[in-house]
Amino acid sequence: MWIFLGICSAFFLGFHEIFKKVSVNHNAVLPVLFFASLTSAVFFLPFIGISLFAAGPAEPAIWYIPQVPLRAHLLFIIKSLIVAMAWLFGYFAVKHLPVTILAPINASGPVWTILGAMIIYGERLNLLQWGGVVISLVFYYLVSFGGNIKTSSRNANKWALFALLSILFNSASALLDKYLVAHYDRIAMQAYFSLYTALIFGFIFLFNARKEVRLLRSFYWRWAIPLIGLFLIAADYFYFYALSYEGSMVSILIILRRASAVIVFSAGILYFHESNLRRRALALAGILLGAALVILGS
């Protein structure tokens, strides 16, 4: 069942990536991050309020958010800080790095998560799963070079470090997720994580907007911005649900979520009218083959 939930998460994550690309294209990054995260927080705020002030009648409802101890809130804040750092470093790396530098760094992302899962949680993959993981990583590396980032490589070392930091923060967040879901209610975790992330980006956005007026002048509202937050809610819901199953493996789920490339690839054809599709289609087929082996091995 958790494998199916991981696939559902990948489906919504693909649309999340599409709306993110639409939103940040020729647009200011920080306002996009803030309003996207604010959408997620606004979605959960009514449920948090009802669960706090009308706990009795609301408790049987599927959207009921139980109260959690102070330690849980501190851990949720830590997760929000980790995710905020990952997003900030990642967005700026994509904006400034040429693909020849960015691609191999991004391709290493699942490796760090898998190694962390093996060291921290003692996860072990069977031969078929390892085959799927290796094939997915190889073809993900190839498809990364199929992008079209036309930027200067000036200060490449700085932006390469940003890309690496983004990957490491994302891996740390994925590993922390498994611990949090095992010890606290997953709906409460997602709700408060969304709220704290919006507060963090709100502070960053306002602080930078006061220092740099051009930040607001270079921002353009787009319909895709709130959809970033909404589709991330759906993707994380299925992901956290999958992690809550006994025996679920974060090392496998991180590979399954890479299958979101199917949705992104389709959008590249239908919406963005991208070229050089044959090579990307071959790489995508390899990623899907790897995901299929992971599923069969599980």
What pTM value is reported for the model? 0.81
Give 129's contacts (C-beta < 8 A, 6+ positions apart): 252, 293, 294, 297, 298
Q: What pLDDT does residue 151 have?
A: 45
SS3 assignment, position 152: coil
Whole-angstrom distance, CA of residue 269 vs CA of residue 277? 8
Cβ atoms of residues 96 and 155 within 8 Å = yes
How far is the CA of 162 from the CAs of 32, 85, 93, 96, 101, in angstroms?
Answer: 19, 10, 6, 10, 12
Q: What pLDDT does residue 51 have?
A: 85
Question: Which of these, 221, 236, 178, 181, lies nearest to 40 by C-alpha position?
Answer: 236
Helix (H) or strand (E) holding 75: helix 70-96
21-44 burial: b if 16+ Cβ within 10 Å, else e:
bbbbeebbbbbbbbbbbbbbbeeb
Whole-angstrom distance, CA of residue 288 vs CA of residue 259? 6
DSSP code for 260: G
Cβ atoms of residues 238 and 9 within 8 Å = yes
Cβ atoms of residues 21 and 147 within 8 Å = no
Helix (H) or strand (E) holding 223: none
pLDDT in tens, the chain (298 residues): 888 898 899 889 888 878 887 887 788 888 888 999 999 999 999 999 888 877 665 556 667 888 899 999 999 999 999 999 998 887 777 666 654 455 556 656 777 788 888 888 888 877 887 887 777 777 766 655 544 444 444 555 677 788 788 888 988 999 999 999 999 999 999 999 999 999 999 998 888 777 666 667 788 899 999 999 999 999 999 999 999 998 888 888 887 887 776 676 666 655 555 555 566 666 667 766 776 777 677 6
Torsional sign, CA 179, 180, 183, 185: negative
Whole-angstrom distance, CA of residue 195 vs CA of residue 220? 24
Give 161's contacts (C-beta < 8 A, 6+ positions apart): none
Cβ atoms of residues 280 and 265 within 8 Å = yes
Whole-angstrom distance, CA of residue 105 vs CA of residue 218? 29
Supply 279's token pair: 């090579």
Cβ atoms of residues 6 and 253 within 8 Å = yes
Question: Which of these, 16, 49, 84, lies nearest to 238 by C-alpha position?
Answer: 16
